[in-house]
């Protein structure tokens, strides 16, 4: 009986060290200020590519925080957001793009080739605070939102 408490004590001491290692490897959550800064930066980049009111923006990203930033930026510009699940395959993405043309697209890195295939595009790598960066793709074949001019 006396050995059981000693074994448990040793086990919990080992487990405590292992748990500490796991906690340090977990990425930290983004702050509201970082999310707001990223939303503004992405909205600026989208508007520079003439994405605005009524345009269609496709999003297929893995990270929920980045998807939320994109969603806020797209809404800020008045564009329509089309969200695909993070598990979308290249075939499913191509079918979605054939069904409805998208003015701009933000997709996972492994789907970039699918989006650029047979399209004339402009690509921008946008650095963000909530993630390292996101690739913004603009389809040149679609007119998109034209900035208003003052007469």
- For 58-110, write each residue's pLDDT tens digit: 999 888 778 888 999 999 999 999 999 989 999 999 999 999 889 999 998 89
Q: Which residue has the higher pLDDT, 16 or 72?
A: 72
Reported confidence tier of residue 28, pLDDT bands at 50, 70, 90 = low
Q: Which residue has the higher pLDDT, 15 or 23?
A: 15
Whether residue 118 has pLDDT greater than 70: yes
What six digits make up the tokens of 145? Answer: 């939102």
Whether residue 18 has pLDDT greater than 70: no
Long-range CB pairs of 126-130 (<8 Å, 24+ gap) are 126/41, 126/42, 126/45, 128/38, 128/41, 128/42, 128/66, 128/69, 129/30, 129/34, 129/37, 129/38, 130/30, 130/34, 130/35, 130/38, 130/63, 130/65, 130/66, 130/69
Rounded Cα distance, 32 and 104, in Å:
25
Rounded Cα distance, 143 and 22, in Å:
49
Q: Which residue has the higher pLDDT, 19 or 143?
A: 143
What is the CATH topology of the domain spanning 32-139?
Rossmann fold (3.40.50)
Tens of pLDDT, residues 30-59: 788 888 999 999 999 999 999 988 899 999
Reported confidence tier of residue 22, pLDDT bands at 50, 70, 90 = very low
């Amino acid at each position: 009986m006396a050995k059981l408490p000693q074994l448990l004590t040793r086990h919990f001491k080992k487990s405590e060290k292992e748990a500490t290692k796991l906690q340090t490897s977990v990425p930290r959550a983004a702050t509201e200020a970082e999310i707001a800064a990223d939303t503004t930066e992405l909205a600026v980049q989208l508007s520079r590519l003439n994405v605005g009111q009524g345009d269609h923006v496709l999003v297929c990203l893995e990270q929920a925080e980045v998807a939320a930033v994109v969603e806020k930026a797209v809404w800020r510009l008045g564009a329509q957001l089309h969200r695909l699940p993070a598990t979308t395959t290249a075939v499913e993405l191509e079918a979605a793009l054939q069904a409805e043309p998208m003015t701009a697209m933000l997709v996972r890195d492994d789907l970039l080739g699918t989006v650029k295939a047979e399209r004339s595009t402009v690509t921008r790598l946008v650095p963000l605070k909530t993630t390292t960066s996101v690739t913004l793709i603009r389809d040149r074949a679609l007119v998109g939102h034209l900035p208003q001019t003052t007469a």
